[in-house]
Structure 1
């Protein structure tokens, strides 16, 4: 049996539609309302298979109501009921299963019910084959982006925009992102109304994709905005940002804690994806990782842990290949290890890099090199 909820501002229209559905013998009406706001309240508890929505209603019309409901429940089917066929295109833009013209006709309603039954049976069959989620979801935003369950399935993206949308939400530290901000970031040059449709379609695709691995409810919608519920999700960028903030607040950061934090950094933020909105975060992470690698190297050098100091200096040079301070740290580390031949190599590399910029090494770098090698 298909369960249905009806919304129409005209009471007699609700009664007629309910009567038609009851006569079909295939649809059970579990609720009805004569305005969108009351419908939203009721739908917080009811979970119908399908909504029959009148389009022309005061305060909140059926198209607006469908947008709100679909953001909460992506599985609910929508059938629009209207006296005007000009709404047909808008109905299908909102991913409606069908639309019915008033006055209702039994034969036409039978075709709609058959279409609903086919769609809902297909969905229920797919749900039965889904394995429940085991463990936590891992989201890697450093290096090549990957999303999945450790020891289980990994997400395969259906579209590039679906992947970008997830990346944006995952990078926002559980902050609610207003719909318009998402549109501006992902579809900056698109017509606003079209962009809204693209966003809703993308959200629906993303939720269905996440549902395949048991995480269909993690994309939340509140007050016209979206966020990622990370109660069962581990995001490497959030972990690194949190650990670096704690290190920043510490009076005397410990080398071991810095090393643990930097383990999360596997490569540049969203390394394989050219997202304009990610440029600022990419630069900020690069700068932080460079600075903490340098700090780590200095601590290890003072502790006479020269091999660890050298590794930290090498990491710093990877992040910022033109910064002389990291080269001086590496030369000092090799001196501590008694590897003066390596100092020559490091200084030569520094000279080559600076030559690209048409500048000479600083007095500090030159004097350190001469002190070690002469």
Structure 2
């Protein structure tokens, strides 16, 4: 016998559905509610096999209620009951085992019951005792997420990938639904954007489940987030390493800096244009630039001028107008006796700055003048 819970704010519709389900002889109605808030409390206590949810309910509608059921991993199948046409249903059916159109039809309901029985018969794989897998996420460069078996999510749509990237970047932060709507679908009307979001959430939950991470995408108080401790991103690891280096700015941290820079696999969300991530992209590039510059200075203190030159060149490749990197490169070439290279680097910087219609700083001019005069202090900062 299938244990069912019904939620609908129309008492007449609720009674008709209850009667039709009982007449199948295969369904026991264990509870009802007229709104989503009462429904979620009773669902937590009753734990039925299936919840029949009307989409249009005041306060918390059926789709939002389904989000809570899935987020809390209540292991309850969902059937939407709606008066929407086929176009509207397509935005919601991803979350459900089935849907029923009002007015209800006996034969259609019988098919839904059979589908519920088939779904219930499927065995869900259980994690091994003691398993606590972590989803490994790459945000620097291409976006990727893989489980313990190195199987990766194959993104169904670009928006599914963008939704995941947004949540993974924000870490433990709980993101309000409307913030996601404004970030991912800024030009769409509110109702249509909500439908797109629910579809993407459904896709993402299914793909995470396939990798063995069911239930890590949470929804509470109209906010989405990924379960803390369930994912590990290269972005957060990199920022942690940067923070550790900054705690001891005066020490010789060359090897640690080299290791951290080797982890830098490119800009955040390479080849993607996410306006909502512009601040994080800029912050990451700035942190990487500061690290390359500091590494060049550390090489200079060690008098490893070849490595100093390489580090300064890498920074200029990322930031062609960086005068500090230019000065480091000039000092490195000067220390190796490559005066022609010093002049070349200075002329290149003059040309670049001229494009911006600005003059080089007095510090850069003074360094070049000191090198030309071969003054002993030319290598000092």
Do 1:174 and 1:227's aligned partners in 2 also have CA atoms closer than 8 Å? yes
Consecutive unaligned residues of structure 2, counting only runs of 5 or more, are none
Partner residue, 2:99: 98
Question: Matches of 2:370 and 2:171 in 1, distance apart?
Answer: 43
Aligned with 2:180 (options 176, 179, 182): 182
User: Which is further off, 331-340 or 311-320?
Assistant: 331-340
Question: Matches of 1:173 and 1:312 in 2, distance apart?
Answer: 31
Do 2:100 and 2:109's aligned partners in 1 also have CA atoms closer than 8 Å? no
**Matched position secondary structure for 1:252:** coil
Do 2:177 and 2:223's aligned partners in 1 also have CA atoms closer than 8 Å? yes
Partner residue, 2:107: 107
Aligned with 1:243 (options 238, 241, 246): 241
Question: Matches of 1:310 and 1:105 in 2, distance apart?
Answer: 77
Deviation by residue 1:169-213 (Cα, 9 ceiling, x = unmatched): 111132111111111111011101111111111111111112221
Partner residue, 1:213: 211
- 1:222 equivalent to 2:223? Answer no
State the 1:107 CA deviation: 3.3
Do 1:297 and 1:308's aligned partners in 2 also have CA atoms closer than 8 Å? yes
For the aligned residues, what is the CA RMSD?
3.8
State the 1:284 CA deviation: 1.6
- Over 3 Å counting, the alpha-carbon distance change for 1:185 and 1:74 in structure 2 is farther
Question: Matches of 2:133 and 2:102 in 1, distance apart?
Answer: 48
Question: Matches of 2:15 and 2:248 in 1, distance apart?
Answer: 67
Do 1:91 and 1:99's aligned partners in 2 also have CA atoms closer than 8 Å? no
Do 1:298 and 1:329's aligned partners in 2 also have CA atoms closer than 8 Å? yes
- 1:284 equivalent to 2:283? Answer yes
Deviation by residue 1:16-44 (Cα, 9 ceiling, x = unmatched): 75564355344454554454323212333
Question: Matches of 1:190 and 1:74 in 2, distance apart?
Answer: 32
User: Which is further off, 10-19 or 22-31?
Assistant: 10-19
Question: Matches of 1:195 and 1:253 in 2, distance apart?
Answer: 51
Matches within 5 A, 1:1-374: 2-8=2-8, 17-18=17-18, 20-29=20-29, 31-44=31-44, 47-54=47-54, 60=60, 62=62, 64-66=64-66, 68-70=68-70, 72=72, 76-81=76-81, 85=83, 93-95=91-93, 97-99=98-100, 101=102, 106-117=106-117, 120=119, 124=122, 136-149=134-147, 152-250=150-248, 252=250, 254-256=252-254, 257-340=256-339, 342-358=341-357, 361=360, 362-371=364-373
**Matched position secondary structure for 2:21:** helix
Question: Matches of 1:64 and 1:135 in 2, distance apart?
Answer: 28
**Matched position secondary structure for 2:170:** coil
State the 1:141 CA deviation: 1.4
Do 1:53 and 1:78's aligned partners in 2 also have CA atoms closer than 8 Å? yes
Question: Matches of 2:126 and 2:69 in 1, distance apart?
Answer: 26
Question: Matches of 2:167 and 2:281 in 1, distance apart?
Answer: 15
Consecutive unaligned residues of structure 1, counting only runs of 5 or more, are none
- Over 3 Å counting, the alpha-carbon distance change for 1:167 and 1:254 in structure 2 is farther
Question: Matches of 1:369 and 1:131 in 2, distance apart?
Answer: 67
Question: Matches of 2:13 and 2:354 in 1, distance apart?
Answer: 80
Question: Matches of 1:66 and 1:134 in 2, distance apart?
Answer: 26
State the 1:235 CA deviation: 0.8
* Number of equivalences: 368
Question: Matches of 2:284 and 2:99 in 1, distance apart?
Answer: 48
- Over 3 Å counting, the alpha-carbon distance change for 1:8 and 1:147 in structure 2 is closer
- Over 3 Å counting, the alpha-carbon distance change for 1:24 and 1:325 in structure 2 is same
**Matched position secondary structure for 2:199:** helix
User: Which is further off, 161-170 or 354-363?
Assistant: 354-363
